[in-house]
Amino acid sequence: MDVIPENAYKWQFIENKIREITGEFGVSEVRTPVFEHTELFQRGVGDTTDVVEKEMYTFNDKGDRSITLRPEGTAGAVRLFIEHGLFNNPMPIKTYYFTSCYRYEKPQAGRLREFHQFGVEYFGTQSPTADAEIMELVMLLYKRLGLKGLSLNINSIGCPVCRKEYNEKLKDYLRQNYDNLCDTCKSRFDRNPMRILDCKSPVCKDIVKGAPLLIDNICSECSDHFEKVKKYLEAAGLEYSIDPYIVRGLDYYTKTVFEVIAQNKNSNNTICGGGRYDGLVEELGGSSTPACGFALGMERLLLTLEEQEIEIPDTTNVKLYIGSMGEQCSFFAHKLTHQLRGEGLSVECDHLGRGVKAQLKYANKIKAEYTLVLGEDEISTGKGKLKNMADGIETVVDINAQDILNHINQEEV
């Protein structure tokens, strides 16, 4: 995926907001490689999921090892947690990441084969306060970005104990229609029947209508946890809806699952997904460690901002463009540029030997806030006109870095 210069500020703006909020929540960044051993995702994400069965970019490297471009960020973050012994630190460990992800899906608006996730993973706490806090974090991010009309939908999909019993109930229900299930669902019937609830085929969708719901069959411990999550969400002033049909597309979830849904007309509405995954660290070779997290798609977030016509402020503009007439003045312009940059000001000048008119056109294009043109007069008198491009007002300044800086700083206050 390409990000062109005139769009980069949007990504940077969102990333800065994310770094601001993760800072407030005490969440630290982690970075993991773009590819991992295929087995990590097979075991982590689950080999009955669409992601693993159909969507992974998997190939053998020159040493004949099977490697896969990460389809999501959680499995890599868990591997990092185990490999670097983070479990030896006081808990919880709160991490976040920006990653590119790769899924061989049918491309459409908001569904890409390469996309980017901002994800958060909390390790080492089974408290419902953690489930609520990660939802609070993401909803605060959306609020600060100015998004409206989002729904936070939550559900509980229980633990391995209650799910085992539920799976039997579900299989009893599905058995009468087994022959009509699609081939993928047939193959999932024994291995992971809950996945059938998530099948996109219209026939399977019809069959699962009326199936028993997991939320009605969770054990008392899971139910107690869910009740507390709801309480903490309410305490944080977060509105939510319960959607008993959320099963999520990945296998590692236990107890709480959630999704954030936008009202987009032209692109995919699921802008964030996550939940608790208390068994994954152990499944991947670590000691038993409860965890929870979420990830949001950066492209879907940008599309949602666009659909809601939210302007992202471009804070990357150049402060001053120094134009020049002829080679001698160009030399002065470059020298002054160098000095002002040394003082921390964002300054541009000509690199193409263009005439002043063309230089000022360029200054306009890059949205320079001030311009100053150096000609022979300016060089000989040591005075020039600093023009504020917003109101067109010109101020006479001495042609030296300090005086120019003083004027710009004075105007800014």
Extract the tokens encoding 41.
């995702």
Q: Which of 74, 95, 267, 330 binds ligand HAM (CB under 6 A)?
A: 74
Q: Which of 118, 122, 123, 294 binds ligand HAM (CB under 6 A)?
A: 294
Task: In whole angstroms, give the CA distance from residue 315 to residue 305.
Answer: 17
By the rule CB under 6 A, 92 interacts with ligand HAM: no
What is the end-to-end Cα distance of the chain in Å, rounded?
40
Q: Least Å distance between CB 266 and ligand HAM?
A: 14
State the pairing for strand pair 320-324/370-374: parallel
Distance from CA of residue 162 to its chain's centroid?
Answer: 32
Rank residues 49 and 324 by Cβ distance to ligand HAM and give the closer one. 49
Of the ranges 144-152, 162-170, 234-242, 291-299, which one interacts with ligand HAM (CB under 6 A)? 291-299
Q: Count residues contacting ligand HAM (CB under 6 A)?
A: 28
For 40-104, give the DSSP string: HHHHHT-TTSHIIIII--EEE-TT--EEEE-SSSHHHHHHHHHHTTGGGSSSPEEEEEEEEEE--
Q: Which of 19, 111, 171, 354 binds ligand HAM (CB under 6 A)?
A: 111
Q: Give whole-number Cα distances, 91 to 94, 127, 205, 222, in Å.
A: 9, 12, 42, 22
Look at the alpha carbons of 157, 159, 160, 162 in this order and tell me if their dihedral is positive or negative: negative
Q: Which of 10, 43, 94, 103 binds ligand HAM (CB under 6 A)?
A: 103
Longest CA pairwise span in the chain (Å): 95
By the rule CB under 6 A, 273 interacts with ligand HAM: yes
Rank residues 87 and 104 by Cβ distance to ligand HAM and give the closer one. 104
Distant-in-sequence, close-in-space partners of 107: CB < 8 Å, separation ≥ 6: 113
Q: Which of 92, 274, 279, 286 binds ligand HAM (CB under 6 A)?
A: 274
Task: In whole angstroms, give the CA distance from residue 28 to residue 353.
Answer: 47
Q: Which of 296, 302, 363, 368 binds ligand HAM (CB under 6 A)?
A: 296
Look at the alpha carbons of 150, 155, 159, 165 in this order and tell me if their dihedral is positive or negative: negative
Rank residues 15 and 411 by Cβ distance to ligand HAM and give the closer one. 15
Residue 369 has a CB neighbour count (10 Å cut-off) of 18
Rank residues 52 and 185 by Cβ distance to ligand HAM and give the closer one. 52
Rank residues 272 and 336 by Cβ distance to ligand HAM and give the closer one. 272
By the rule CB under 6 A, 348 interacts with ligand HAM: no
State the pairing for strand pair 93-102/28-29: parallel
Of the ranges 28-36, 181-189, 287-295, 395-403, which one interacts with ligand HAM (CB under 6 A)? 287-295
Q: Identify residue 188 by its one-letter amino acid code.
A: R
Task: In whole angstroms, give the CA distance from residue 51 to residue 103.
Answer: 7
Q: Least Å distance between CB 238 and ligand HAM?
A: 18
Contact flags string 242-271 toward ligand HAM, x per CB under 6 A: -------xx-------------------xx
By the rule CB under 6 A, 128 interacts with ligand HAM: no
By the rule CB under 6 A, 123 interacts with ligand HAM: no
Q: Which of 46, 76, 119, 158 binds ligand HAM (CB under 6 A)?
A: 119
Rank residues 117 and 167 by Cβ distance to ligand HAM and give the closer one. 117
Q: Find residue 157's DSSP bridge partners.
A: none
Interacting residue ranges for ligand HAM, rule: CB under 6 A? 72-74, 103, 105, 110-112, 115, 117, 119, 121, 249-250, 270-275, 277, 293-297, 299-300
